Each structure stands twice: as C-alpha cells, then as structure tokens.
Amino acid sequence: MSPFIYNLCQKPIVGLAMATVALCEFPPLMKDVQMKLGEAGTVVTADVEVPVDLSYALMLEMSNPAGESLSKQEVSIIGDRRVEDCDESTDLAKVPKQDRASFGRPMAFKVEVRHKPDNVLVHSRTVNTLCVASKWANLRSRSLGNFALARGTYSVRIENVDAQAGLERLNTTVVLAPGTDRPLTAQR
C-alpha cells in the first residue's frame, strides 16, 4: 500500500468507500516466517519494506499444525490470560498461586531491527513475553513488541533465547503487521 492510498483510506467518506471494496487492506510486512521454539539460540531474519510511517507490532504465533485444539499442557505453557491483564513487569511471585498458571511460562527473545541501507540499529531489546495477545482453540500469539518505523527497508532479527520444552510440535511463525491505525513519527 502506498502512502497516498493509505492517506485516502484515513478519510471518513473516501476511506469507507475504499474499505468496502478491500482497497484499504494492509497486509503484514512479515508473515509465515518459521521459528523453532524447541531449540535455544534459533535465529530468524527477514528483510521488510515499510511503505507507510506507522507503529508495527511483532507477534509470535503458535498453532497446532493439524488444526486441532492445543493440548492442555501447551495452553499451560503458552498461557491463557490476555496481555491486557499482565505485562513484562508483572511479578509472578506476587500473583496468587491459583492464578499463575493462566499467565503461562515467560519466554525470552532478542529482537533487533536495523535500517537496511545504512545498517543503523533502530530497535534492540530482549523481550520476556508473558500472557497471550490473542487466543483461539488451535492458536495463541504473544507480543514481541511494538515500534515505530519510517518508510524504507529494514532487517528484522529474532532470536529464541531459551529452548521451550513442550512446544516443539507446534507450528511457530513470526508476523510483523501494522499495530495502530494512525501514522506515527518514526526515528531513524
């Protein structure tokens, strides 16, 4: 989607008309990038072209490859509590014991985003995910962060810090998609 079309999609009447014929769909910048959770140190990288200055959400999606519901063990590892109820500053030691299981197991990932032409580091952080951003019977997702990006080409690198025992059979992908509906001022 070009910046011009994106701006038209933000107009009240024109945007509504364009959305009804699917001209305002904004596809993910990164999709179907496979990651192995069962091995520590697994790294995935992808180059992305950012067409519009926006905030983008980096998500980890875990699903049953057979399309069946996740097992109780997998749900207990990934979590069942929505991210609105917790964040990475949540101290699990202070959470009542009966509620801890719903948070899932903390998972650490190193996330790095570089501006491709000049290799300038735009975003670098170790993320300890906790709770789920979205959930369905056969899929759970966790947030790896949100960050503003200006138009241009970027290299995204995600490293699985620790092996996640019990999740080896799941199909795990990384997705980078628009995180908000309004443009942001991105820093390079």
In this predicted structure, what is the pLDDT of residue 7?
Answer: 60
pLDDT digit string, tens, across residues 35-72: 999 899 999 999 999 888 888 999 999 998 888 889 88
- What is the value of pTM for the model shown? 0.78
Contact 109, 60 (CB under 8 A): yes
Contact 78, 132 (CB under 8 A): yes
In this predicted structure, what is the pLDDT of residue 65?
Answer: 87
Confidence band for 188, pLDDT divided at 50, 70 and 90: very low
Cβ neighbours of residue 163 closer than 8 Å, sequence gap 6 or more? 37, 38, 39, 40
pLDDT digit string, tens, across residues 69-119: 898 888 888 888 776 656 555 555 666 666 666 778 889 999 999 999 899
Confidence band for 178, pLDDT divided at 50, 70 and 90: confident
What is the three-class DSSP state of 45?
strand
What is the three-class DSSP state of 42?
coil
What residue spans define the domains of the chain?
29-178
Number of other CB atoms surrounding residue 87 within 10 Å: 12
- Distance CA(47)–CA(11), nearest Å, equals 30
pLDDT digit string, tens, across residues 114-172: 999 899 999 999 998 887 888 888 888 989 989 899 989 999 999 999 999 999 889 99
Helix/strand/coil (H/E/C) assignment for every residue in 140-153: EEEEEEEEEECCEE
CATH 2.60.120.790 fits 29-178, yes or no: yes
Burial of 60 (0-12, 13-18, 19+ CB in 10 A): buried
H or E stretch covering 15: helix 12-20
pLDDT digit string, tens, across residues 1-31: 566 666 666 656 555 554 554 556 667 889 8
Please determine, for residue 175, whether its predicted confidence score (pLDDT) is greater than 90.
yes
